[in-house]
Amino acid sequence: MKLSVNSFSPLILLWIGISFCTTKDAIVQDQSKVLYSIIYLIHGDADYMYYDENGKSIRADENALKEAQTIAEKMISGEVFIFHQRPEKKWLWVIPRKDRRMWYYRNGKLTDNQKYSPHKDRVTFSAESELFRNYDHSKKSTIQYLFYFGHQIPRQNGQSYDRSRPSVAVDAVTVAEGLRSFLLDSSEKFKLIVLSTCNNGTPTMVNMLRPIADVLLASPQDLHLSYIATKAISLIEYETNAKAREIAYAMAQDTFQRLSESVQTEISLSVYELGLINPNNEQIFTAYRSYLSNSNPKDPNENIDCAKLPFFNDFDYSTGVHTWYRTAQFGRRASTFSHSGWGCELFQNITENNSFTSYNIN
Amino acid sequence: MYSVFITIIIGIAFQSVASAQNSNDTQRIKKYINSTVQAVENEQDVIQKRVLLNESFDKIITVLDKVSERNIPENDAKAIILLRANILEKRNELNGEQGFKRVEDFNLNYFSQYVQDDFEQASGTIVIGVTTALLIALILLML
């Protein structure tokens, strides 16, 4: 399935109804029970400033934090963890200052918040997952949603991702391992993972995350710093059987609408039903690996639509992928009107006149 | 005792300044681009809008060229090449050069916003070191 921007399921129609007009109270659950866990991981250890259409400067991570806190107060049937990964400083280069912050909401109420430091030289998110596991482990729900906000997670060579800890690598492998560490049991999966980052809707990332999630919402190409809107997660308060796919569709629709009104650059969002991709489309992962190993990348800072690469088979690779796409209003891509939903790394060469040339394909 | 106290204070101050520096410098570049966007939107005359954009692109390209002449780290040099190519492409599009269709007069406000949106997105993936970012910010101020 692709490019069906306007396909509305009953759940999305319900979400639109809730968004625009209702004052209906959510179903009140037993306050002692936790039906689901939501984890917000908000990276703030880099430059996240942007200007909105009115010229006002905004810090994307602070904005995402505020939105997460507002949503957390409405999630009365579950628990919400919010981690803000601010730059880590040290007193006299030795003593950690605990600049990172965590907020814990249970049944819509803020019940705890604390400062913490990242673990030195350990798995990405190990400090966060340790804090997560410390809260009422025995009462945890097995239904988990995880939302990550940050810059593009590099496929490899992820040094300098944390600007205050440039020697620590953060890449697709360490992030996938880090996300896995939030699962309480090896047989569990996240219902939904959202990667609110540029260029991470790739065969590499999908392959990394398919063992640990049912559905992934990510951007195969550019995503403006104003990020993916996650307020549609509150659908699970109204419809306990809400499917992760439809929650992801509602989030993508919200985000697409908002970005269409505010940015001039390309908008690309894809929902991957990882269970559907898994059995049928194994070959995209091997084909992409082969492409990567033969292409001798120089500066993989930008993605292109995988459909432009010779290994791509549109018929085989579209199952389980649903895409929202709007072309950039200017630039070389302004004439591109469709997207496969898969992003592949563009291997740029710089010519003598410093113009971009085509990518290498062997 | 007094000297130990002073050392501690200086140490704390230096630590904070060093880690904040890179972020502040890239933010200065964003601020410069935003000031161009604002100026273009406030300008009524379309010829002047185009002049403002061209001057802004030329200024950034000049800054990047001056920084490239210095002895900067290899990774920064690569990042500068990417940034320069990005800005050059925008200038080409504005003026309808190198195969681009010239940006229409009525689209100049949107085009300036596009330049800003694109740079804000690129700043997440193009990483420039502390010293080089400071150099860019300083030369930008001086020109």
Q: Which domain holds residue B73?
A: 25-142
Residue in chain A closest to B93 (alpha carbons) equals A331
Do B22 and A163 lie within an 8 Å CB cutoff? yes
In sequence order, which residues have a C-beta less than 8 Å from that of residue A270 and are 6 or more positions away? A201, A217, A218, A219, A220, A252, A321, A322, A323, A324, A341, A342
Burial class of residue A121 in the structure, from the number of CB atoms within 10 Å of its CB (0-12 exposed, 13-18 middle, 19+ buried) = exposed
Closest CA of chain A from B27, distance in Å: 7
Cα angle for residues B40, B44, B45 (degrees, 5° grid): 95
Do B114 and A55 lie within an 8 Å CB cutoff? no
Residue A7 has pLDDT above 80, yes or no: no
pLDDT for the residue numbered B23 = 58
Least confident of A54-63, A174-183, B61-70: B61-70
Kindly give the pairing relationship between strand A49-51 and strand A90-91. unpaired
pLDDT greater at residue A24 or residue A106:
A106
Tell me: the pLDDT tens digits for A165-194? 888 889 999 999 999 999 988 889 999 999
Helices A10-20/A244-262 angle, 10° precision: 50
Nearest to A157 by CA among A355, A279, A292: A292
| Residue B92 within a domain | yes
Asked if residue A179 lies in contact with residue A240, where contact means CB atoms within 8 angstroms, the answer is no
pLDDT for the residue numbered B12 = 42
Residue in chain B closest to A93 (alpha carbons) equals B15
Q: B-chain residues within 8 Å CB-CB of A152?
A: 124-125
Residue B68 has pLDDT above 90, yes or no: no
A16 pLDDT tier (thresholds 50, 70, 90):
low
Q: Does domain A33-277 have CATH number 3.40.50?
A: yes
| Residue B14 within a domain | no
> What would you report as the CA-atom Rg of chain B, rounded to the nearest whole angstrom?
18
Tell me: the pLDDT tens digits for A152-169? 998 887 777 888 888 888
Average pLDDT over residues A138-159: 84
Alpha carbons A188 and A282: distance in angstroms, whole number:
22
Tell me: the pLDDT tens digits for B93-131? 999 999 899 999 999 999 999 999 988 887 666 666 767
Query: What is the average pLDDT score of chain B?
Result: 79
Helix (H, G, I), strand (E, B) or coil at A244: helix
- Tokens representing residue A102 in the block: 């965590």
ipTM: 0.78
| Number of independent structural domains in chain B | 1
pLDDT for the residue numbered A25 = 41
pLDDT greater at residue A257 or residue A319:
A257
Query: What string of H, E and C letters represents the secondary structure of chain B?
Result: CHHHHHHHHHHHHHHHHHHHHHHHHHHHHHHHHHHHHHHHHHCCCHHHHHHHHHHHHHHHHHHHHHHHHCCCCHHHHHHHHHHHHHHHHHHHHHHCCCCCCCCCHHHHHHHHHHHHHHHHHHCCCCCCCHHHHHHHHHHHHHC
Closest CA of chain B from A310, distance in Å: 25
Residue A296 has pLDDT above 60, yes or no: no
Q: Which of A50, A164, A301 lies at the smallest CB-CB distance from B82?
A: A301
Closest CA of chain B from A22, distance in Å: 34
| Residue B52 within a domain | yes
Tell me: the pLDDT tens digits for A314-350? 777 888 999 999 999 998 878 778 899 999 876 644 3
Domain boundaries, chain A: 33-277
B3 pLDDT tier (thresholds 50, 70, 90):
low
Do B12 and A91 lie within an 8 Å CB cutoff? yes
| Residue B42 within a domain | yes
Residue A167, chain B, CB below 8 Å: the answer is: no
Q: B-chain residues within 8 Å CB-CB of A55?
A: 34, 37-38
